[in-house]
Amino acid sequence: MKPGKIYLDNCVTSAMAPEVLDAMLPYFSEKFWYPGSFVSTGESANEALAGFQQVVADSIKADAAEIHFTSGGTLANNIAIKGLAGALKGGHVICSVVDYPDLLTNAAYLEKQGFEVSYLSADSQAMIDLTELKAAIRPDTVLFMTTIVNHVVGTIQPVREISDILAAAGHKIWFHADAGQAYGKIPLNMQELGIDTMSISAHKIHGPQGIGALYVRKGTKLGQVIHGVKRVDGLQTGGLSLALIAGFAKAVELNFSDFEGNVARLRQLSDYLYQKLQEKIPYIELNGAPGEGRAPHNINVSIDYIEGEAITMMLDMHGITVATGSACASQGLKANYVLMAIGKTHVQSHGSMKFTLSRYTTKEDLDFTVDTLAQITEELRSRSPLYNALRNQER
Partner 1 sequence: MQYSQKVLDHFMHPHNVGKMDNPDATATEGSPSCGDQVTVYLKVNHDSKVIEDVSFLSYGCASNIATASIITDLAKGKSLDEAKAITWRDAMEALDGLPPVKVHCSVLAADTLQTAISNYEIAHGLKEVPNFSKDTILEELKKIIYPQVGEDIVSLKMVKYVGFTDGEVLIDLNMMSFDSWRQNVAEEIHEHLEKYPEVKKIQINFP
Question: Looking at beta carbons only, is 229 or 333 nearer to partner 1?
Answer: 333
Closest distance between partner 1 and the C-beta of residue 171, in Å? Answer: 38
Closest CB 237 distance from partner 1, rounded Å: 32
Instruction: Note whether 84 and 214 are within 8 A (CB).
Output: no
Spatial distance between the Cα atoms of 113 and 128, rounded to a whole number of angstroms: 26
Least distance to partner 1, CB of residue 302, Å: 13
What is the per-residue DSSP string for 206-224? Answer: T--TT-EEEEE-TT-----
At 268, is the secondary structure helix, strand, or coil? helix
Looking at beta carbons only, is 226 or 314 nearer to partner 1? 314
C-beta closer to partner 1: residue 247 or 351: 351
| 185 to 220, 330, 358: CA distances (angstroms) | 26, 27, 10
Residues near partner 1, by CB under 8 A? 305-307, 309-310, 313-314, 317, 326-329, 331-335, 345-347, 350, 382-388
* Kind of pairing between the strands at 174-178 and 141-147: parallel
Q: Count Cβ atoms below 10 Å from residue 51 Cβ, excluding itself.
A: 13
328 noted as active-site residue = yes
> Residue 265, class by beta-carbon neighbours within 10 Å (0-12 exposed, 13-18 middle, 19+ buried)?
middle
Residue 255's nearest CA partner among 51, 73, 14, 26 is 14
* Candidate list 328, 375, 388, 391, residue with the active-site label: 328
Residue 92 backbone phi and psi in degrees, to 5: -110, 135
The CB-of-336 to partner 1 minimum distance in angstroms stands at 12
The C-alpha torsion from 7 through 58 and 212 to 296, rounded to 10°, is: -30
What span, in angstroms and rounded, lies between the C-alpha atoms of 45 and 24? 13
Given a contact cutoff of 8 angstroms between Cβ atoms, the answer to whether 171 and 139 are in contact is yes
3-state secondary structure of 321: strand
Q: Which residues are catalytic?
A: 328
